[in-house]
Amino acid sequence: MTNPGFAEDIVPARLLAHLDKTDKTTWNNTSAEARNLLSSFVITNNIRVAFLAFAAGIAFMLGSVYVLAFNGVYIGAVAGLSHVHGLSLALWSFVSPHGYIELTAIFIAGGAGLKMGYALIAPGLFTRKRALTEAAKTAVRLLGGCIALFLIAGVIEGFISPSELPPSVKIGIGAMTGVVLFQYLFRAGVTQNSR
């Protein structure tokens, strides 16, 4: 990491304190009793971020681009600081089980917002209102799919990600969820395009 100061400006003080006091092997020491609460909090927060990425797209795509870019920079800052503190394995073994699903869903929600913003910028042969209405039909379906993905990711993040499973198992679970998710999305796209 070439500029830890920049990352420290982005990452909340609470997370910086966590990086300093963690035991270098476990990213999140959530007790088994608190995992229900963690899971519901994570699901709610992810849906909030997705709605923000989606709704912000109506501002001629700029809002969605900002939300997606900021989240990318934030994740990069956390990853960089984790590396500096010797916590890369702890971070990625925590993020991997749910991260493929969660991050993909956030980007799909952002893409749905971009679709609506693009309809306003380039409505084609339609009026802007009609183009937005048509784009919204697809965008809302995409957002609904994201909510289902967030439910799955939230359960994984609440129960598997903070578990005592070995890092290799958690990373393997993440790889498996990624393969299954992308295989599903690819097949859904092929099915949709063949209609």
At 73-120, the pLDDT tens digits run 999 998 999 898 898 999 999 999 999 999 999 999 999 999 999 999
Is residue 7 one of the residues assigned to a domain? no
pLDDT digits (tens, 9 = 90+) for 147-175: 999 999 999 999 999 999 999 999 999 99
Is residue 5 one of the residues assigned to a domain? no
Asked if the model's pLDDT at residue 9 lies above 80, the reply is yes
What is the value of pTM for the model shown?
Answer: 0.88
Range with lowest mean pLDDT among 11-20, 21-30, 50-59, 72-81: 21-30
Is residue 3 one of the residues assigned to a domain? no
Is residue 111 one of the residues assigned to a domain? yes
Query: How many structural domains does the chain have?
Result: 1
Is residue 8 one of the residues assigned to a domain? no
- pLDDT of res. 25: 67
68 — alpha (psi -120 to 50), left (phi > 0) or beta?
alpha
- Name the residue range of residue 181's domain: 14-189
Is residue 9 one of the residues assigned to a domain? no
Cα dihedral value 56, 141, 188, 71, nearest 10: 20
Is residue 112 one of the residues assigned to a domain? yes
- How many alpha carbons fall within 13 Å on the CB side of residue 193? 6
